[in-house]
Amino acid sequence: MRAESISRRTAETDVSVSIALDGTGKATIATGVGFLDHMLELFARHGLFDLEVKVTGDLHVDQHHTTEDAGIALGQAFLKALGDKRGIRRYADLHLPMDEALTRVAVDISGRPFLVFKTEFRVEKIGQFDTELVREWFQAFAMNAGITLHVETLYGDNAHHIAESCFKGLARALREAVAVDPREDGRVPSTKGSL
């Protein structure tokens, strides 16, 4: 069973994350940030990951530390759950539409953390949530999961739709990339022999 739990505590946040990669999409999320909860719930659902995320953060400051640290811990748990990456498909990409918004996501479970994030928001807030924190979460997740991640929103108007297309796109791409390809026959999908 590819599953892992992480606890991470700093002066700013106290985060616990559990993820099962071969799950059903069941999510129990409580970050204290409603919009982030919504994004993580649909990340679990569309990735078919079983996911528990609990954050007690310094929301009296703002939502930055909570959002970033949720991404860090989830990335760490994802990486550990993958183990030695034997047999996985490794690469995946797709276009994810959400009404008028369209986001392209390409991922390589490479062990080489890199983020290209070409998504812009016309507004600063989605409800109480700062739209600039979407990028912060993706950066934190990609660096700690050790993945190469390209996200580009090709077009879109509504900030809620744009953010949702990014998170759903990532989830769908990861679902494909972590899937075990029987033709790999348990090998690590790299000519180097490790990822």
Q: How many residues does the chain have?
A: 195
Q: Which residue is nearest to Mn ion (CB)?
A: 164
Q: Among residues 2 and 46, whose Cβ is nearest to Mn ion? A: 46
Residues that bind Mn ion (CB under 5 A): 164
Q: Amino acid identity, residue 77?
A: A
Query: Kindly report the CA angle at 92 between 90 and 94, in degrees rounded to 5?
Result: 170
Identify residue 160 by its one-letter amino acid code: H
Least distance from Mn ion to the Cβ atom of residue 101, Å = 11
Q: Which is nearer to Mn ion, 49 or 129 (CB)?
A: 129
Distances (CA, A) of 191 to 91, 140, 187: 14, 28, 10
The tokens 């660096």 sit on which residue? 143
Contact 71, 144 (CB under 8 A): yes
Q: Which is nearer to Mn ion, 144 or 165 (CB)?
A: 165
| Minimum CB–partner distance for residue 161 and Mn ion (Å) | 8
Instruction: State in Å, rounded, how far the first CA of the chain is from the last one.
Output: 19
Q: Which is nearer to Mn ion, 34 or 83 (CB)?
A: 34
> In angstroms, what is the minimal distance from the CB of 55 to Mn ion?
20
User: Smallest distance, Å, CB 5 to Mn ion?
Assistant: 27
